[in-house]
Amino acid sequence: SNGMDGLVSLEPAPALAYNTEETIAEVRRLWRLVDRPNLMVKVPATPPGIPAIEQLFAEGININITLMFSMAHYEAVSQAYLQGLARCSNPQPITSVASFFVSRVDTYVDRELEKIGTEEALSMRGKAAVANSKLVYRRFKEVFSGQEFARQRERGARIQRVLWGSTSTKNPDYSDVKYVDELMGPDTINTLPKETIDLFLDHGKVRDTLNKGVAEAKQALNDLKKVGIDLDAITEQLQVDGVKAFRDSFDQLLGALEEKCRQFR
């Protein structure tokens, strides 16, 4: 795969998510410690994470940018990638993915639509996440077919693929492969739990869906705004909640390991 596939992601302590300098220092430490070309280190797309991401790309480190929920997050991340590549003496080995979280958007937006409660609002349930993702994919194609990346491609740089995360269906009223069937397109990755893989193998359909229905996706987001959905505010809150969830899980894991160590002393 010429270094594009077979990568493993490693997560620094989520407590660093809002500290630029500490994130840079910890990612450098992990990169040196593991010392493998197929390592990707996770960095969340928080406001302090963005300058860290650019600096780490400038140093030639593979990064998996996580906790992206909005177009604003994608714009910041893709620009950090381009600027980091431009500063890197040799961008050829760098591999990166922009991990865009999907189903959590519908979960949050649907809850808000149910609070609004009108027939129009209720008819929009289950539309926000895929529409949001399709517009991000369209922007991804624009960024990596543009002049700024063309200069880096000439230096051997690779595109930063979009990775769809959080793609198992949470709402039983929706197709159990909704976020697989509706998010297929070139240069993307979909990280799936085994249960969703099995469901897709049973009744999923392989087809290019990301390049279709883009105008409808834009209209869907406009309609959501008209009924009172503030998607920008929702996606910012989802990122904050995501950092907290990652931190809680990380702390719980460390606590479990410490307890095991005490048992064997």
Tokens of 62: 């593979």
Compute, in degrees rounded to 10, the torsion defined by CA atoms 178, 180, 186, 189: 140
- pLDDT tens sequence across 77-109: 999 999 999 999 999 999 999 999 999 999 999
pTM to 2 decimal places: 0.94
pLDDT class for 190, splitting at 50, 70, 90? Answer: very high
* Boundaries of domain holding 147: 8-255
Neighbours of 229 (CB within 10 A): 20
Q: Is 244 part of any domain? A: yes
Q: Which helix (H) or strand (E) holds 41?
A: strand 39-44
Q: Is 261 part of any domain? A: no
Query: Smallest Cα–Cα separation from 10: which of 32, 18, 1?
Result: 32
Q: Is 104 part of any domain? A: yes
- Residue tagged 């469901």 (tokens): 199
Sheet strand arrangement including 96-101? 8-10, 39-44, 63-68, 96-101, 161-165, 188-190
141 is annotated as an active-site residue: no
Tokens of 45: 């797309």
Q: Is 161 part of any domain? A: yes
- pLDDT tens sequence across 192-208: 999 999 999 999 999 99
Q: Give the residue, 263 or 90, on which the prediction is more confident.
A: 90
The number of folded domains in the chain is 1
Q: Is 64 part of any domain? A: yes
Q: Is 262 part of any domain? A: no
Query: Cα angle vertex 180, ends 233, 78, to 5°?
Result: 50
Q: Is 265 part of any domain? A: no
Q: Is 141 part of any domain? A: yes
Instruction: Kindly report the CATH number assigned to the domain that includes residue 36.
Output: 3.20.20.70
- Are 27 and 119 in contact, with CB atoms under 8 Å apart? no
CA distance 180 to 129: 12
- Residue tagged 């194609």 (tokens): 141
